[in-house]
Copies of this chain bind each other. A is one copy, B any other.
Amino acid sequence: MMATKIAYGAVGKPPLVLVHGGAGDIPDSGVRNKLDGVRRAAVEGHRVMERTGCVLEAVVAAVTVMEDLEGFNAGRGSVLTLDEKVEMEAQIMEGGNLDAGCVTLLRNVKNPIVVARSVMEKTPHTFLGGEGAETFAKQTGAEFAGDDYFKTSAAVSALERFKAAKSKAPGVTEIGDTVGCVAVDFQGHTATATSTGGINGKYPGRIGDTPILGSGGYADDSLATVSTTGYGESIMRYNLAQRVLTGIAQGKSAQQASEESVRGMTDRVGNTAGVITLTPSGQVGVAFTSKRMAWAYVEGDTLNYGIEQGQHLTMDVAEFE
């Protein structure tokens, strides 16, 4: 990992934009909705990638699509804290200069990923949280919404079920977790973006893995770009994104490094997670130890997607649109 020379990927290979819609114990009734959302996000990310040629634009576009949909645990569909608030987090990173922007404990902002990008581009800092982050978001003209926008009936009833179950540990709910996107362009430049509402019934002030560079995501043009999802405490303690990069550095394929890393996390610190990975040369990795994780990407005219273990479905992009 002590790269002294950055070896970029296969110049000229078509760009890729790979998204996930959260690892978790997604019930059968949620499958259709999740698949529809990740396909929509992948198609939009790919479209923006083709139009702008910019990996940052692509990952922000894809994540924004999912933040705006009620069915994902990020932005609008975020789960609630124990005191019934929405506290959101996000990170964005680009793999050339390792520039990054992260936000946490953000309330009432419609698109946390946009604020994360502003932190990267408009402040001397990498990570802002809480009131300071909100003040900054207002200064940059970020769009805000009232509590009624965020308190969806799904989030409210999920918290009610959590409280009724008297579970000791806040958990990833059937809503699923965290959305994310990784992208690579013609030149092998990489970026990653991840956004979440955290875990259902979390303590006020709880920070998860999503805004943590090396845990919730990481992008390095010399190795790979990664976005993770799942039980944040375990992901953070294991530095899941960095484990994938270490595997890549050891010569493993994107798929092998992704599989071994999520299994290694579950074995060492417990709970489940998922990762999506792209290398600068266009290798794709998709792996999760949870029951389900929706994912999708466009290659040529084909939309690739899946949500079950080992599943890889395809359809014409034109058919989806």
Contacts and interface: CB of A to CB of B under 8 A. Distances in A.
B269 A203 contact: no
A251 to B, nearest CB: 13
A129 B237 contact: no
A203 to B, nearest CB: 6
B203 A125 contact: yes
Interface in A1-29: 1-4
B269 A97 contact: yes
21 contacts: A2-B260, A2-B261, A3-B268, A97-B269, A99-B237, A100-B237, A123-B203, A125-B170, A125-B202, A126-B233, A126-B236, A126-B237, A128-B206, A128-B207, A129-B205, A130-B205, A132-B206, A213-B215, A213-B237, A218-B239, A239-B242
A232 B127 CA distance: 10
Nearest to A133: B205
A321 to B, nearest CB: 37
A203 B205 CA distance: 19
Q: Mostly helix, strand, loop or mixed at chain A's interface?
A: mixed
Interface residues of A, number: 58
A51 interface: no
A124 B205 contact: no
Interface of A: 1-4, 93, 97-100, 102, 104-105, 123-136, 168-170, 202-208, 212-215, 218, 232-233, 236-239, 242-243, 246-247, 249, 260-261, 264, 267-269
A169 B125 CA distance: 9
A205 B135 contact: yes
B2 A125 contact: no
A98 B268 contact: yes
A169 B122 CA distance: 11
A99 B234 CA distance: 9
Contacts of A237: 93, 98-100, 126, 213
Contacts of A249: 246
Given A1-B246, A125-B206, A136-B205, 18 more contacts: A99-B237, A104-B129, A125-B202, A126-B232, A126-B233, A126-B237, A127-B208, A129-B205, A129-B207, A130-B131, A132-B206, A136-B203, A212-B212, A212-B213, A212-B214, A213-B215, A214-B214, A239-B239
